[in-house]
Structure 1
Amino acid sequence: MTTVLLVLHLFVTLALIGVVLLQRSEGGGLGVGSSGGGMGSFMGGRGTANLLTRATAILGALFFSIALTLAILNKGASQQNRSILDSPPASVPSLPAAPAVPTN
């Protein structure tokens, strides 16, 4: 279940990044919302902005809800050693004894 939610969370994250990059910025950066080509050719600039704004809001809500669900599902997993760095080494090799220092 956690793996499925994690993969879904990854897809929602990538879609959210894409939708945010498609929006028209104040400087007119990467957005397709400007008049001319892209989605603006069959929808008005205002319609494209509304569509991208709604998509951003929906994807943002999905992002936070999946993140909270993953946090709740993995709440009890912190007591177990989940990382290889947290577990003790399997076996510690014994070192040879240091040579004795002669006393004269």
Structure 2
Amino acid sequence: MENVVLSIHLILALLLIGIVLLQRSEGGGLGMGGSSSGTGVMTGRQAANALTRLTWALAAAFIVTSLTLTVLSAHKAGVTSVVDRFLQDTPATAPATGPALPQVELPPAPATDGPVTPPAAE
């Protein structure tokens, strides 16, 4: 179910990008800037209105699929939130000295008496 909604979500995202790129920044759409005669199928104003309505419809569907994916993933994850899990893992009283650090054994020091720096390049 989640894969189907995710696929629809991605298709809607691509369609929304395409529709937004088809619109002109002056508020017109597809037919603006062309011939001024009204002999075409759609005038510039009608194309702009159609693209605007299609943009709103795709945006609404995109938001619905976003919310659906959020609900599906929350349902799949369980009923506890990250904060709830963090509060359950911490003890009621914290130690005063802080957490114990792991003991690390260091390798023995080199047996040479000379400096450990590399020789200078000439």
TM range (shorter): 0.5 to 0.7
Superposition TM-score, scaled by structure 2 size = 0.55
Point out where structure 1 has 5 or more consecutive residues left out of the alignment.
80-97
Question: How far 1:36 moved relative to its partner?
Answer: 1.7
Aligned-pair identity in percent equals: 49
- Residues 99 and 19 of structure 1: is their aligned pair in 2 closer, same or farther, counting only changes over 3 Å? closer
Which amino acid is 1:45 matched to? G
The answer to whether residue 34 in structure 2 is matched with residue 36 in structure 1 is yes
Superposition TM-score, scaled by structure 1 size = 0.64
**Aligned-partner Cα distance in 1 for 2:42–2:21:** 18
Question: How far 1:42 moved relative to its partner?
Answer: 2.2
Which amino acid is 2:69 matched to? L
**C-alpha RMSD of the superposition:** 2.8
- The 4+ residue runs of structure 1 with deviation greater than 2 A are 76-79, 98-101
Q: Higher helix proportion, which one? A: 1
Matches within 5 A, 1:1-104: 1-26=1-26, 32-36=30-34, 41-78=40-77
Stretch deviating more after TM superposition (55-64 or 69-78): 69-78
Point out where structure 2 has 5 or more consecutive residues left out of the alignment.
79-105, 110-122
**Are the aligned partners of 2:31 and 2:42 in contact in 1 as well (CA < 8 Å)?**
no
Aligned to 2:114: none
Question: How far 1:99 moved relative to its partner?
Answer: 7.7
